[in-house]
Amino acid sequence: MLHLRNVLQLTRGYAAPVRGLAAAVAARSTVSELRAKLVESERKMASLKHAMALHPDPARKRVAVLGAGRSSGPLIRYLLERAEDERWSVLVADANVKLAASKAGDHPAAAAVELDVANKDGLTAILDTADVVVSMLPASMHAPVIEMAIGLGKPVVTASYATPDVRQHDAAAKAAGVPIVMECGVDPGIDHMSAKALIDGIRDAGGDVREFRSYTGGLVAPESTTDNPWKYKLSWNPRNVVLAGRGVSTYLQAGVVKFIPYNKLFSRAKNVVFPDGTTFEAYANRDSLQYIDAYDLASASTVLRGTLRWPGFCEAWDVFVQLGLTDDSFAMEDADRMTYAEFLASFLPWRQSDSVELLLAYQLQQPMFSAVMDKIRWLGLFSDRRINAKGSPARILELLLQHKWRLRPGDRDLIGMLHKIAYVDANGEAREKISALKIKGSATDPDMTAMATTVSLPVAIMTKRILNGETFGPGVVIPTERNIYKPILAELADDFGISFEDSDIPLVGGIHSDHFPTLVSQPEPSAAIEGSL
């Protein structure tokens, strides 16, 4: 039996560790309490900052910028560079509050808050403090924002199309005396403004427009295409790239309305040559017919708006359209367990003995190492790499392109725009105005791409003009009126070097509408391919 003395001797060696453990527990408790107090302090500070953001200096006019994504950087920079002189404050709101804060920076006139468009109370609080609302949100989110802004009597400026769900608020905006300025980016936006300036100039000189063609493309600069056989990289929303052209494209050709369904769109691309000799290919862009009224082109027998790509893109992209890889109407539940080769093979007729490359070559009637097959191979769609994602075919393709088509450090993007307007002048002579724009983005500042700059600067300039008391509308308007487009085009040219090179030439042989010819044609079946299957 142990005596008390022995017990004390045995436990003496544990006394210090026990005291240390007790101290550690106490310290841990103290740290936990301090951490909880810090979290609570940060919460209160965030709440205070949010309250301050939503209650700006009444001496300043307030801009609420909704969306801090790819194209918002030059817009926010423009507003903040002028904020002190103009006495503005800028609230940047985004679902990703850290992204919003990064765009607002530490500028004393800027604040950032979290945005949830579905939270009506939160959205109301943001819009209610604004003198102008700028929406850089995805197009599907504009309508509820615009509806609420009209109810609060707030003007709205955005770069997106005036879709039917936006135009349905036109009467309410007019009744409220509120301008809703849509299509104030690059395409749509600068294309409208520059085209209408040309058309109005022709009319002012007594001319009559007979044919109108306009093309715009968000591309990558030639020097940044050497590592990518598609010659395409993402400078805007990748989802919009994948879904581009869906529906039916319409235009007017020699007085006849033409329709191009989605499954024919990319196979009916045509070559377009700029005045400097640069060749692109173009496909019809959405509904060109709506711009007959917008541009006042009742006398024109041809009205066409198109989208530009580098040659070879459309033929390869058409493969994805024909196979169904751009379909966004259903989810592939097992896609996360597939390889990219299995994903592609799931859209091809099955032959157990053939590789997916051979199956696709046979389906396309293309040689195994044609330019089209090389583009698809380069994307990794024949590889055994796992997808590790679920979603629609379009979503899976989008995720792949986000990786393969990303702009790398030092890359420069390119905006190209071309107007060709055939007209009869006051003397009865047939002539053609040609107006071309090429703008490259920064190689060093990822926020200052050509796409972001040309999308957001017209929005910024329009916002400034409303803040400074100029009146427009009311109702849903696009920038086709002189009082809107002339000052914007002038500032873009004078302050940012965004200007067109124009020429005006006689049309030998008069005006005649050509068709919208097929550029891409399928090659004859290869005997080698047929023999191997």
**What tens-digit pLDDT sequence spans the chain (533 residues)?**
444 444 344 345 444 554 555 555 555 667 777 777 776 655 545 544 555 455 557 779 999 999 999 899 999 999 999 999 999 999 999 999 999 999 999 999 999 999 999 999 999 999 999 999 999 999 889 999 999 999 999 999 999 999 999 999 999 999 999 999 999 999 999 999 999 999 999 999 999 999 999 999 999 999 999 999 999 999 988 998 999 999 999 999 999 999 999 999 999 999 999 999 999 999 999 999 999 999 999 999 999 999 999 999 999 999 999 999 999 999 998 899 999 999 999 999 877 778 999 999 999 999 999 999 999 999 999 999 999 999 999 999 999 999 999 999 999 999 999 999 999 999 999 999 999 999 999 999 999 999 999 999 999 999 999 999 999 989 999 999 999 999 999 999 999 999 999 999 999 887 765 544 433 333 333 333 222 22
CA dihedral (407, 409, 410, 412) in degrees, to 10, reads: 20
Which residues neighbour 465 within 8 Å (Cβ) at sequence distance 6 or greater?
A: 472, 487
The pLDDT value recorded for residue 43 is 54
Domains and CATH numbers, the chain: 316-408 (1.10.1870.10)
The pLDDT value recorded for residue 529 is 29
Q: Which residues pair with 258 in a beta bridge?
A: 251
Strand (E) or helix (H) holding 102: helix 97-104
Task: Please state, in angstroms and rounded to a whole number, the distance separating the CA atoms of residues 145 and 116.
Answer: 11
Q: Is 36 left (phi over 0), alpha (psi -120 to 50) or beta?
A: alpha
Cβ-contact 267, 419 below 8 angstroms: no
The pLDDT value recorded for residue 24 is 55
Task: Please state, in angstroms and rounded to a whole number, the distance separating the CA atoms of residues 452 and 39.
Answer: 37
Question: Long-range CB contacts (< 8 A, 24+ apart) of 277-281?
Answer: 278/416, 278/438, 279/311, 280/215, 280/217, 280/219, 280/308, 280/309, 280/310, 280/311, 280/416, 281/308, 281/309, 281/310, 281/311, 281/312, 281/313, 281/314, 281/519
Task: Please state, in angstroms and rounded to a whole number, the distance separating the CA atoms of residues 200 and 279.
Answer: 28
How many Cβ atoms from other residues are within 10 Å of residue 491's Cβ?
A: 17
How many Cβ atoms from other residues are within 10 Å of residue 192's Cβ?
A: 25
Cβ-contact 163, 138 below 8 angstroms: no
Task: Please state, in angstroms and rounded to a whole number, the distance separating the CA atoms of residues 441 and 407.
Answer: 11
The pLDDT value recorded for residue 475 is 97
Question: Residue ranges of the alpha helices (H) in 324-409?
Answer: 340-345, 356-364, 371-379, 393-404
Task: Please state, in angstroms and rounded to a whole number, the distance separating the CA atoms of residues 217 and 226.
Answer: 19
Two tokens, residue 326: 């751009």
